[in-house]
Amino acid sequence: MALEARALVRVFSAVVVNISYRLAPEHKFPQSWEDAWDNLVWLVEHAVDIGADPSRGIIMGGTSAGANLAAVCARRAQVEPLAHPLTGQWLNVPTLLKEEQVPEKWRHLYVSMQQNADAAIFPASAMAVLQELTGWDMTSPWRLPLNSTHSLAGLPKTYIQVDGMDCLRDDGLLYDEMLKAEGVESRCDLYAGCPHAHATFVPGKAAERALVDVVRNFGWMLGQVVEEGVAEKALCL
């Protein structure tokens, strides 16, 4: 996340905060999620104190577990309004839903958990291990954004990234469809043949492509156009 954070500062003169939160197995569910929310509330309330201008936009995001935290916090902000509203969420290879939460017309497309069950990075079996370590309550709105009973309508602009060889691939693809169906401005990029969080774990051209896409789509969420060369320079590619 440090690479993306530095690039966002360079391109947008933004204040970027990488938050910390307590982890399992020492701190069980929902401690991490509560920490993420408390961080968000404090940062939004004290935005001016840390040199930020909330009128330019507030975006929360992350990769993998961080993307899940961001999505859950964006949903909570719908019912517990922040001092300044979120204007964007970046969800990179997120965990977002259960199969039964997918609308019937798209349920036949929810296949990545089976197709990529034996993926080299984050196989489906890892979910069972994490369940044991964290004590997830899969019915809680803290765990999955679709466990909230509030409509998806009204969520901020959303940028989703998914990897083709990831068991979580269809979480992102279908959440993108569900958001659009509710009138939310949403974009989704698919990196075919790439494993979970490839931009973090697998350096190379595909990783560089994903990083450039992050910077350019932060621009979209902030209402700015960022040329590819500008993003590459900011990322030192």
Radius of gyration for the chain, computed over Cα atoms and rounded to the nearest angstrom:
17
- Residue 139 structure tokens: 């019915």
Q: Is the pLDDT of residue 108 over 90?
A: yes
- Residue 184 structure tokens: 């939310």
Of residues 82, 67, 78, 2, the one with CA closest to residue 33: 67
Domain locations in the chain? 2-234
Active site amino acids: 64, 166, 196
Instruction: Domain 2-234: give its CATH code.
Output: 3.40.50.1820
pLDDT in tens, 117-146: 999 899 989 988 998 999 999 999 999 999
Q: What interhelical angle do 205-221 and 2-12 show, nearest 10?
A: 40
Q: Give pTM, 2 decimals.
A: 0.97
Q: Is the pLDDT of residue 1 over 80?
A: no
Q: What are phi and psi of 104, to 5 degrees?
A: -50, -40
Q: What is the DSSP string of 159-224?
A: EEEEEEE-TTHHHHHHHHHHHHHTT--EEEEEEEEEETTHHHHS-SHHHHHHHHHHHHHHHHHTT-
